Amino acid sequence: MLSIGLLVVVLIAGGLVITKFLTSSLDYYCNVDEVGHKTGCEAGRRLRIQGVVDKGSIASNNGVTTFDISFNQVTVPVVYDSGEPGGLFQECIPVVVHGVMKAGVFEGDDVEVKHSNEYDAKNKNRIAKSTAEATTCSQSK
């Protein structure tokens, strides 16, 4: 019985350590306006930020693409040093950028243009808000 009890305690402790490790290594998901204002969305940590690519903000130079993304009237400049984001990437579309906020600039290393169906189902309000902002962006001059 003592061996079984000790084994249970070790398994529980191991599970807690692994859970804590995995939780701290995950990229927090934040809207642009939440960076620096919401728990888990602090500058200096790995994040995924969602916003709409601002019209006229995309520029490329020597394999580095820069652009601005906005959400709820808050804008963040992004530096993406992995070349062209590719795919459907363009201005006035909702995107999710993975990276780290440093000195007011988001240093991205991955850009997602389309959300998964699972994400869409769980975050209908975020999708609706970013779609509305994208529509406003594409209609502006």
pTM over 0.85: no
Q: Number of structural domains, the chain?
A: 1
The pLDDT tens digits for 72-97 are 999 999 999 887 887 788 888 899 99
CA distances from 107 to 14, 43, 102 (A): 34, 11, 7
CA 23 distance to own-chain centroid? 16
In a domain, 21, yes or no: no
CATH number at residue 60: 2.40.50.140
Asked if the structure places residue 45 within a domain, the reply is yes
Domain that residue 68 falls in:
27-139
Encode pLDDT of 28-75 as tens digits.
789 999 998 888 888 888 899 999 999 999 999 988 999 999 999 999
